[in-house]
Amino acid sequence: MKMEADENVARYYAAKREEERRAKKRKLAAITALLFMEPERKERDANKQRDRREVERKMRDLSDSDFQRMYGVERERFASILNKISPHLSKTQLQRHMAEISSGSEVCATIQLAIALRMARGGSYLDIAFAYCVEKTYVYACFYRVFEAIDKEYDNIQFSFKEADLNRQAATFDKYGELIRNVVAAGDGCVFRMRKPSKADTNDFVTGYYSRKGHYAWPIQAFCDGNKKFVYVESSICSSAHDSTAYAATVLSKAIRDGKLPPQYCVLLDAAYTCTAQELTPWKGRNLTPYQDAWNFLHAAKRQCIEGAFGLLVRCWGILWRALVMNFKHISLVLRVLCKLHNMRVDDFLVRRAEATMEERDVPYYSENVEWRHGDLMKGADIRDVPQWTDMTRATGRGARTDKEACPTRDEITLALERAGIVRPKGESKYKKVCRR
C-alpha cells in the first residue's frame, strides 16, 4: 500500500511539472508571435468631401459688426493681414492636388486666417474644425502657422530711442495731464495662466513657473504709450520672479541704465519697481504727506495706460480667459502676436477717432475747474515751477530698501507740488475724467 501511494504522489508531481512546462512553452510562443508578427493595419477612413467655398460665402455674408465680433479685427484689417501673410500660407501644386483628392478642395489662406483668429478669440478647436470643414488635428497646426506668418510680417512693437519717436510717444501722454512731462512709456508685468509645463520644457525647473497668483503662468514685461499701444514686450525670466527682478533682466532696463534714453525723458512704473531718475514710481507707505499723495495721484493718472492695455488685450482675445493649453515653446509666440494684433486694433481705433468730428475727444484730461483740497494751481502758482527734466542718476541697485530710494526727479516734482499747493482733487465726482476708449 505504501509503495502504491508513493507512486501516485510521483505521478502527480510529474504531471504537474509537465503542465508547467507546457504553460511556459505556450507563453514563450505567444511572446514570440507578438514580437515578430506584423502589426494590424488600421483601415484608413474614407475621404470626406467638404464644401469650403460655402464657408467663404458665409464669411462674406457676415455684417461688418458680426465680422469684427467673430475675428477681433475689422474686415479691412483682415484683408490687409491676409494680403501680407498669404505667401507664407500658399501650398505647392502637389499639395493642392492631394487636397482636392482627399476632401474636394484645399484650405485656402482666408480660411486659415479665420481659423487662427477664431482660436485667438477663444473658440474651441472642436467647434472650429466643425465650422470650417477641417480635421480637428489640423486646427492647432494652422493656428501656429498663421501666427508665425504674422510674427514675420509685422514689426509694430518698437521702442525707439530716437528723439523724434520719443517726442511722438510723449505727446500721447499729454491728455492725461501736464504736471509730469516727457513720459514716453508706462510699464508693468503681467502673467498669463497656463497648464503645468513638463520638466523637459523647463530644464527640470517646473516650480519656477508657479506664480504668486497660485497657478502656473507665463510672464511678460510690457510698456505702452498713452494710446495703450504696446511699444515693448519681453519675457526673459520665469513667472516666480519679482517684477523688479524680471524688469532688471530686460533689454530695455539695461538700455536705460546704459544711458541710451535721453535724460529729459522717463518711464512710469508701479510700486513694485525701484525708483530712479528715469524710472519713476509712486511714493510707498501709508503716512504720506498730501503732496506725496498728489504725486501718486498724478503718477497713477498717466501710468494707468498699461493697465488699460492689458485689460483691452485680455478682453479681446478670449484664449487668455482660461489657462493656455498648447505646446510650451509656442506660448511666447502666441502672446507676442496677440500684442501685435492689439496694436493693429489700436491703430484702427485712432484712425476712426481722427476721422470723427466729435469735439469731446479734444477735452483735456484735467479740467481747469478742478477743486483742490489745499490751495489752487491758478492762484499764486505757475505750472512752469514744476521741474520737467531728469538728471540721469543711476539706480543704486535692485533689492535695496524702497524707503531709502534716491530719486531727485520725484523729490523735486513733489516739492514743486507742495510749493504750488497742489494735492489730490476733492472727490471723484468733481474730477472731470474723459473716457478715451
Radius of gyration, CA atoms only, the chain: 32
Residue 279 near residue 269, CB atoms below 8 Å: yes
Of 234, 135, 121, 236, nearest to 185 (Cα)? Answer: 234
pLDDT band at 4 (very low <50, low <70, confident <90, very high): low
* Angle between the N-to-C axes of helices 64-71 and 109-120, in degrees from 0 to 180, rounded to the nearest 10: 70
Give residue for cell 484664449. Answer: 319
pLDDT of residue 396: 36
Mean pLDDT of the chain: 81
70 has a pLDDT exceeding 90: yes
Cα angle, residue 359 at apex, residues 358 and 360 outer, rounded to 5°:
90
Give the contacts of 369 (CB within 8 A, at least 6 positions apart): 432
**What's the rounded Cα separation, in Å, for the pair 243 and 240?**
9
Q: What is the pLDDT of residues 101-136, one digit of tens each?
A: 566 577 889 999 999 999 999 999 999 999 898 888
Q: By the 8 A CB rule, do 409 and 391 touch?
A: yes
Give the bridge partners for 190, in sequence order: 220
- Secondary-structure breakdown of the chain: helix, strand, coil percentages, each rounded to the nearest 5: 55, 10, 40
CA distances from 10 to 4, 15, 17 (A): 10, 9, 11
Structure confidence by residue, pLDDT tens digits, 12-59: 778 888 888 888 888 888 777 767 665 666 555 555 666 678 888 999
**pLDDT tens digits along 246-295:** 898 899 999 999 999 999 999 999 998 989 889 999 998 888 889 999 99
DSSP string for residues in 160-182: ---HHHHHHHHHTTGGG-SSS--
Residue 139 vs residues 151, 317, 342: alpha-carbon distances, Å: 18, 17, 22
